[in-house]
């Protein structure tokens, strides 16, 4: 497979992961109500964190993580390290 084909395949995989991450994040945000969550107590005024926001950022963090892993794997293959 040529370098250009591998690059396009990698870009397509990353786009699919990001699209899936965003769709999952939006679905989590839409399904979970904003009034359910937990409160962080401290010396400042209390901070309420709804579960819908936690789910949204978790999905986006997963997309970033998978993207990083795919890019690192591609870099290792370029260096000649194959699993």
| pLDDT one-digit tens code per residue, 8-47 | 788 888 888 788 878 887 887 788 777 888 888 887 788 8
User: Is 33 within the bounds of a domain?
Assistant: yes
Task: Determine the structural domain holding residue 12 and report its residue range.
Answer: 3-78
User: Is 71 within the bounds of a domain?
Assistant: yes
User: Is 83 within the bounds of a domain?
Assistant: no
More confident residue, 69 or 1: 69
Looking at the 3D structure of the chain, how many domains does it have? 1
Instruction: Quote the pLDDT of residue 82.
Output: 63
Q: Who's near 26: CB < 8 A, 6+ residues apart?
A: 56
């Amino acid at each position: 497979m040529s370098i250009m084909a591998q690059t396009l395949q990698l870009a397509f995989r990353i786009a699919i992961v990001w699209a899936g991450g965003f769709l999952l994040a939006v679905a989590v945000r839409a399904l979970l109500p904003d009034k359910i969550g937990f409160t962080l107590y401290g010396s400042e005024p209390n901070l309420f964190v709804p579960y819908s926001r936690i789910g949204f950022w978790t999905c986006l963090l997963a997309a970033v993580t998978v993207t990083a892993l795919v890019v690192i794997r591609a870099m290792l293959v370029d260096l000649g390290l194959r699993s």
